[in-house]
Every structure is written in structure tokens, then in C-alpha cells.
Amino acid sequence: MAGQRPVGVTVVAVIAWISGALNILGGVIQMFPGGDNFAAGVWALIIGIVTIVVSLGLFRGSNAARIVVTIVFVLNLLSAFFLLFSPFTLWSAAISALLAGIGIALLYTRPANVFFR
């Protein structure tokens, strides 16, 4: 870890945590009776838990955490696409996708690259 953590990295860590929480919420809703896709709910729940756990590594400057969060954000984008078609998780999926896109962009700025070196 080189120097002070850039604001963008802190923002991404917070976004990752929020995104993980939204995935967990959407997954739980999908798994309740009346949810239209139990498998998608389980998938969203797993992604949410991994996102929250790994987001904590971003605060410490772990490059491995940055790579895992990037992969999870890409998976978030894919799962959000499928969850957008459910009336129960429409807003959760839309916000999760938006936060994942912003998170990916901020993880690879010049100050972030220096921090994770």
C-alpha cells in the first residue's frame, strides 16, 4: 500500500458495501414465497455477501480485494440485468447496477492505481 487512501477508493469501498447490502436484500426478497426466481435470489445473496466481505480489503489497499471487487461488480451488473425483470427487485437491481458501474470506474483511476501498487 502506497501512501494515503484516495477518496475514490473510500467511495468505492462504501459503494461496494451498499451494493452488497442491496444484493442481499434483493436476494432475500426473491427467495420469499411469491418471489419469482429462487435461484436468482440465491445468486444475488452470495454475490452480496462476497461483496461486503471483500470491500473491507479495499480500505487496507489490498490489490487482491480490488480484483475480487471488480469481478464481483461485473457479476453484479449481470445479475442486476436479470433481476430488473422482477417487479419485486426492480429498484434494488437498478441501483445495484449503477453503483457497480461507478465502482469499477473509480477503482482504476490514477490515484487508485498508485494506492494499490
pLDDT in tens, the chain (117 residues): 456 899 999 999 998 888 889 989 989 888 887 766 788 889 889 989 988 888 889 988 999 999 998 998 898 888 888 887 777 778 888 888 888 889 899 999 999 999 998
How many CA atoms lie within 13 Å of 89's alpha carbon, on the beta-carbon side? Answer: 31
How many CA atoms lie within 13 Å of 51's alpha carbon, on the beta-carbon side? Answer: 32
What does the pLDDT read at residue 113? Answer: 92
